[in-house]
Amino acid sequence: MPPPLQAPDYKYVTEECLREWKGQSAAAFRIPDPVPMPRFLYELCWATVLGDLSPHKCRAALDSVVFAEEAWQEDSGSVLADIVAHLGQDITISGEYRNRLVKMTKSFVESSLIAPRLLQERCEEEFLWEVEQSKSKGQDLKAKEVRVNTRLLYQQTKFNLLREESEGYAKLVTLLCQVGSDLACQNASSATISIIKSLIGHFDLDPNRVFDIVLECFELYPDNSIFYQLIPLFPKSHAAKILGFKFQYYQQLDVNIPVPSGLFRIAALLVKSGLIDLDNLYAHLLPNDDEAFEHFGSFVSRKIDEV
* Start-to-end CA span in the chain (Å): 101
pLDDT at 279: 84
Tell me the mean pLDDT in the region 253-280: 86
Of the two residues 191 and 98, the one the predictor is more confident about is 98
pLDDT per position as a tens digit, 94-130: 888 899 999 999 999 998 888 889 988 888 888 888 8
pLDDT exceeds 80 at position 142: no
Task: Using DSSP, state whether 208 is helix, strand or coil.
Answer: helix
**Quick one: CA torsion of 114, 120, 126, 131, rounded to 10 degrees?**
30
Measured between alpha carbons, how far is 65 from 60 in angstroms, rounded to an integer?
9
pLDDT at 135: 77
pLDDT per position as a tens digit, 45-91: 998 898 888 888 888 888 888 888 665 556 888 889 999 999 888 88
pLDDT at 186: 55
Per-residue confidence at 155, pLDDT binned at 50, 70, 90?
low
C-alpha 70: how far from its chain's center? 29
Measured between alpha carbons, how far is 108 from 22 in angstroms, rounded to an integer?
18
Per-residue confidence at 161, pLDDT binned at 50, 70, 90?
low
- Cβ atoms 80, 41 nearer than 8 A: yes
Backbone angles phi, psi at 162, to 5 degrees: -60, -35
Measured between alpha carbons, how far is 224 from 185 in angstroms, rounded to an integer?
8
pLDDT exceeds 80 at position 262: yes
Measured between alpha carbons, how far is 233 from 197 in angstroms, rounded to an integer?
9
pLDDT at 104: 92
| Per-residue DSSP letter, 35 | B
Q: How many CA atoms lie within 13 A of 78 on its CB side?
A: 4
pLDDT at 238: 78
Measured between alpha carbons, how far is 293 from 82 in angstroms, rounded to an integer?
56
Measured between alpha carbons, how far is 26 from 11 in angstroms, rounded to an integer?
19
Measured between alpha carbons, how far is 278 from 268 in angstroms, rounded to an integer?
9
| Per-residue DSSP letter, 235 | -
Residues facing 67 on adjacent strands: 35
Measured between alpha carbons, how far is 125 from 73 in angstroms, rounded to an integer?
29
pLDDT at 93: 84
C-alpha distances in angstroms, 254 versus 206, 248, 258, 262, 284? Answer: 27, 12, 12, 21, 18
Taken in order 243, 247, 250, 251, the sign of the CA dihedral is negative
pLDDT at 250: 83
Residues facing 160 on adjacent strands: 205
Tell me the mean pLDDT in the region 226-230: 84
